[in-house]
Structure 1
Amino acid sequence: MERWFSRITMFWMLFLGEVQSQDWTKCSTGCTCDGNKMSVTCNGLKNVPNDIQKDAKELRLGFNKLSKLSPTAFHGLNKLTNLDLSYNQLQTLPPGVFDHLVELDTLGLNNNQLKSLPSKIFDSLTKLTDLQLDQNKLQSLPHGVFDKLTELKTLRLDDNQLRSVPDKAFDKFSKLENIFLTGNHWDCASCDILYLSQWIRDNGKKVKISNTNMDDPDGVTCQGTMESVNKITKENTFQAGCPTTTQQMATSPASTTTTETMTVREKQTKPRMKIFQEELFSKASIFFCQVIFTQHVSLVVIHILAEIPLLHIVCVVRKP
């Protein structure tokens, strides 16, 4: 009997200690706390509070005035499953800021001013199923930035300034159900678009219209045109130098600019058939002109006889 009494006493001491450590009656300044849902919501803040309940599962920091984050802002909050940082003024993310959020399921970074992402920024978020990066100013993505997100089901990249995505960027998404890609600056004149084009063709049912759950693979269009990205192939673009497989593209960064691509392309030799055609036309036009001017044929006759008006111009330029 004495042993049981001792065990019960120890149990109550541990229980009371746990309750005391999870005191939800004391909430951070500017925040409201819901102990039942283990949720913290903050408003009007410029910085993330450093006294947030350690056992919180939801932290809602949307619609604040956060312009930057401390690298240790969320350290100690390793029970969080939902972190909302949407509708702030974040321009950058410090490396390692999410490293301790190993239980995180949903991360909202939409409606900020992010122009880039640090490499490996999401590597610790192996349980993440929902990542919202829409309505930012992202111009490029680091290679392998999504590689650890094997549980991801929803990815929002719509309404950014992306021109392409790195080769194999989405290859680890074995459970992906929804991806939003519209409203970007997809550069269909660059070889770097070929990976995304092929991926959309292979995963059309996962590509959604913004704010709906409807499939729309054709809605992802090239910058400046209404042509669908998924229609772009090596054969119907003017880059003769594009690699024949996406695996070959991995040797060059996805951030290669259009200018750089054009420079490389200009250095490439012309196909033999094109050279042959140009030489044949040149020789034929010279012969035609010599005959015309030798026989003193008037330019009026040239217009009548020549079905290709360009010959008239060539002859005038080359007239002795």
Structure 2
Amino acid sequence: MERWFSRITMFWMLFLGEVQSQDWTKCSTGCTCDGNKMSVTCNGLKNVPNDIQKDAKKLDLKYNSLSKLDPTAFHGLSKLTYLSLDYNELQTLPAGVFNHLVELDRLDLNYNQLKSLPSGIFDKLTKLTYLTLSSNQLERLPNGVFDKLTQLGTLYLYNNQLRSVPDKAFDKLSKLETIILADNDWDCESCDILYLSQWIREHHEVVKEYGGHNTDPDGVTCQGTMESVNKITKENTFQAGCPTTTQQMATSPASTTTTETMTVREKQTKPRMKIFQEELFSKASIFFCQVIFTQHVSLVVIHILAEIPLLHIVCVVRKP
């Protein structure tokens, strides 16, 4: 009898605990709650409340004064399908802050002050279909930052400070229907722009204008000009000297130093004719010196060529 009484007591305790967790009459300070729509809207906050209903599906935190997020701010809200952090003052996102939002369908981060994103920040959001990052201060994107978002249909990146995107940045977004890329600092004098240029040409139908209504691939323009990014190719610009991705991987060790990277970059940005002339001169000078030393020509001959100091130096250095 006591055993049954104990079991019944435990059942009621669990039941009452579940009811209490879904009590929508008690809302977090500064928030309003709608139990029917399972939604919470908060205003005038500097921090995310830690007592938001655990079964909430919608959390609207826009127009607050959030300047930072606790890494565990959303860890108890695994049922969320919508989260808006628009119009806040966020400068960074802690790694793992979205890890528990496995049901999230839409994430809005517009109108903040984000300058960068942590690697893997969206990796757990595999059901996400809508992501907005517009009107921030993003200068770059981490490699593979969107790779896990295979269900993503809408991506807003306009009005940031992006100069390029990583190679293959959008290759996993097979369901993408709308992307907005306008008003960034796209650097069309860099070899790094070539991936984005080609991607826009191949997916022009998903590149939209503000609002996402009309197709506008030509609206993504180079910094300082009105030239469209999708017009930039290796064939019609000085970037003909840019290596392909395969060449870069084969010739660039993973531990390339800053100095080495700058040297490669300088060679990449030289006009193609200049590179050709330098290589031709180098080969010619080597051949000339080999002829001289093979024929045992006196160095007097070389000194006669003092009119060409560079050739003189090359030959003297190369003498066995």
TM-score, normalised by the number of residues in structure 1 = 0.76
For structure 1, the residue ranges without an aligned partner over 5 or more in a row are 1-9, 280-320
The aligned counterpart of 2:110 is 110
Q: How far 1:12 moved relative to its partner?
A: 9.1
> SS of the counterpart of 1:40?
strand
The aligned counterpart of 1:231 is 231
Q: Deviations over 1:12-32 (max 9, x none)?
A: 997665333200000000000
> SS of the counterpart of 2:41?
strand
**Does structure 1 residue 143 correspond to structure 2 residue 146?**
no
Evaluate the alpha carbon distance shift between residue 249 and residue 201 of structure 1 in structure 2; reply closer, same or farther with a 3 A threshold.
Answer: farther
The aligned counterpart of 1:51 is 51
Q: Give distance in 1, aligned partners of 2:263 and 2:74.
A: 40
The aligned counterpart of 2:290 is none
> What pairs with 1:76-115 in structure 2 (closer than 5 Å)?
76-115=76-115
> SS of the counterpart of 2:195?
helix
**Does structure 1 residue 208 correspond to structure 2 residue 214?**
no
**Does structure 1 residue 270 correspond to structure 2 residue 275?**
yes
The aligned counterpart of 1:308 is none
CA RMSD of aligned residues (A): 2.9
Q: How far 1:237 moved relative to its partner?
A: 2.0
Q: How far 1:170 moved relative to its partner?
A: 0.2
Q: Deviations over 1:84-140 (max 9, x none)?
A: 000000000000000000000000000000000000000000000000000000000
> SS of the counterpart of 2:155?
strand
Q: Deviations over 1:177-228 (max 9, x none)?
A: 0000000000000000000000000000000001241001111010001111
The aligned counterpart of 1:156 is 156
Evaluate the alpha carbon distance shift between residue 250 and residue 130 of structure 1 in structure 2; reply closer, same or farther with a 3 A threshold.
Answer: farther
Question: Does the CA contact (< 8 Å) of 1:147 and 1:172 recur in 2?
Answer: yes
For structure 2, the residue ranges without an aligned partner over 5 or more in a row are 1-9, 285-320
**Does structure 1 residue 24 correspond to structure 2 residue 20?**
no
Q: Give distance in 1, aligned partners of 2:198 and 2:245.
A: 9
> SS of the counterpart of 1:205?
helix
- Percent identical among aligned pairs is 73
The aligned counterpart of 1:73 is 73
Evaluate the alpha carbon distance shift between residue 193 and residue 215 of structure 1 in structure 2; reply closer, same or farther with a 3 A threshold.
Answer: same
> SS of the counterpart of 2:36?
coil
> SS of the counterpart of 2:32?
strand
> SS of the counterpart of 1:102?
coil
Q: How far 1:35 moved relative to its partner?
A: 0.2
Question: Does the CA contact (< 8 Å) of 2:218 and 2:228 recur in 1?
Answer: yes
Query: Given residue 271 of structure 1, which amino acid in structure 2 is its aligned partner?
Result: F
Question: Does the CA contact (< 8 Å) of 2:191 and 2:268 recur in 1?
Answer: no
Query: Given residue 275 of structure 2, which amino acid in structure 1 is its aligned partner?
Result: K
Q: How far 1:270 moved relative to its partner?
A: 1.8
Q: Deviations over 1:232-254 (max 9, x none)?
A: 001222134302x444456779x
> SS of the counterpart of 2:59?
strand
> SS of the counterpart of 2:210?
coil
> SS of the counterpart of 1:239?
helix
